Chain A
């Protein structure tokens, strides 16, 4: 039936990865690191590219001194706060705009125009407004997440199967019940896509603001290392951030497959 095609989205291919793929991934990492390590100091100047061993040493030192945990936690807090704020606002705004065609058509060009502005360009403005504490980072992370979640959720709301909406309306559902029972659950897969896209952008927002003005966080750590011409430090800070975003994305993916167990 054609209605089914609409309501079904493809299953996540990341589920049920075979052990072989993990093996290939491990090989890939080992080859890359070996190539880097052996090129550094022979083909390339370690001053520019550092080396895996140096980065590892820096990470160990930072971890031992508690520096890494401290700065990561700050960035994590900013991003988490911004993510929650931005995602919540994005979902609510999408449900509101999606429910009303006139409203949708009215705000659409403005939202799209603002979306086109690179969020990082707003960082100086937010620093002027909110100072150099956590606030400007949270706001920048929130704005970055907001648009991705908003557009994604709105798409989901607009693609809801109208037959299900009609069925619920004849059973006596009002606007709010329809939103809760049909529109929100059917937009949920799109919402999750937005969340997964938005998470790294939330980190980008927070880190970018940290790099401009702050005395803590991964952005500060990279900026500070670069200021001391410590290439290994820059890479180490970025690597730590990468690990955190990957873990969080994985957690989101798990949550997603649990929520969509009905597929």
Chain B
């Protein structure tokens, strides 16, 4: 794989040409179920530029996955509008890669067959599929497990297989819902580094949901902190750590501590916040 590290293009120079890759305008979402209504999002505005890496943190149940589902077009907002690359998202959005929070591998397919699904859907030839699958399997470190079925993998390995399946068709926008949650620290760093490498090489737009503040600071250009329901953006923190970043050194950067403190404070519920 390419190992080019492009540094971030200077913000002012192409601010004008940059269109928003992903945009939520006054989005509200209320779920209606038998037990009543749950208002998850209310008047949410959010805009991401092309090639921007956004991380979202927030308490459990605050609506992070809901936002990703709206962007993927798997769900429709109750009010407001969702745009992806300038187009309103009306049906399922196939211009994105969505690594969901829950397991969605096909249990009757082996790892390599699962990773090949997006390419099969695009009618790509067998030999090319085999080559690209092999590449991706190596990138996510699943060598030796090509012929295993998902039920024979650990949770972290299933996540990696899903990551490979999302990356293989090279979508311009990536939605990732806690992709590295169940991984051990070592592997987490390795995959974060891989993701950063990939991101800087291909300049994808990424929305990355995580519970890990360190991970958010390490990876993102901007970190949003969601409040609990109905969700508001409690903090929109641009990360001032220059790129290219080394995933295991970011935490020693002088700016890191300040970011961490501000994000942590914003995450804490107001009642418990010392002030």
- Name A's B-contacting residues (CB within 8 A): 1-4, 7-8, 161, 163-164, 166-173, 177, 181-182, 185-186, 188, 260, 262-263
Contacts and interface: CB of A to CB of B under 8 A. Distances in A.
Contacts of B97: 170-171
Nearest to B149: A262
Nearest to B152: A262
B108 A166 contact: no
A1 B103 contact: yes
6 contacts: A7-B107, A163-B100, A163-B102, A167-B98, A168-B117, A188-B108
B104 A167 contact: yes
B66 to A, nearest CB: 14
Interface stretch (B2-10, B21-29, B31-39, B88-96): B88-96
A167 B100 contact: yes
Nearest to A188: B108
Interface in B77-99: 92-94, 96-98
Contacts of B151: 8, 262-263
A263 B97 CA distance: 28
A163 B92 contact: no
A182 B106 contact: yes
Contacts of B74: 166, 169-170
A163 B120 CA distance: 19
Instruction: Specify which of A3, A8, A170 lies most central, judged by the most chain B CB atoms within 10 Å of its CB.
Output: A170
Interface of A, secondary structure class, is: helix
A79 to B, nearest CB: 29
Instruction: Specify which of A8, A163, A262 lies most central, judged by the most chain B CB atoms within 10 Å of its CB.
Output: A262
A135 B3 CA distance: 69
A164 B92 contact: no
Interface in B156-186: 165, 169
B104 A163 contact: yes
B59 interface: no
B93 A170 contact: yes
B106 A170 contact: no
Interface of B: 72-74, 92-94, 96-98, 100, 102-104, 106-110, 117-118, 120-122, 149, 151, 165, 169
A173 B121 contact: yes
A235 B117 CA distance: 54
Nearest to A189: B108
B119 to A, nearest CB: 10
B103 A171 contact: no
A164 B104 contact: yes
A161 B106 CA distance: 10
B160 to A, nearest CB: 16
B73 to A, nearest CB: 8
A218 to B, nearest CB: 38
Contacts of B93: 170
Q: Sorted from nearest, which 3 A-B pairs have the closest CB atoms?
A: A167-B104, A262-B149, A171-B118
Contacts of A182: 106
B102 A172 contact: no
B94 A171 contact: yes
Contact of B106 (A164, A166, A177, A263): A164
A139 B169 CA distance: 48
Instruction: Specify which of A3, A167, A172, A173 lies most central, judged by the most chain B CB atoms within 10 Å of its CB.
Output: A167
A80 to B, nearest CB: 27
Contacts of A177: 121
Nearest to A169: B92
A59 to B, nearest CB: 43
Given A163-B102, A171-B117, A185-B108, 9 more contacts: A2-B102, A3-B102, A7-B107, A166-B104, A167-B98, A169-B92, A170-B98, A171-B118, A172-B169
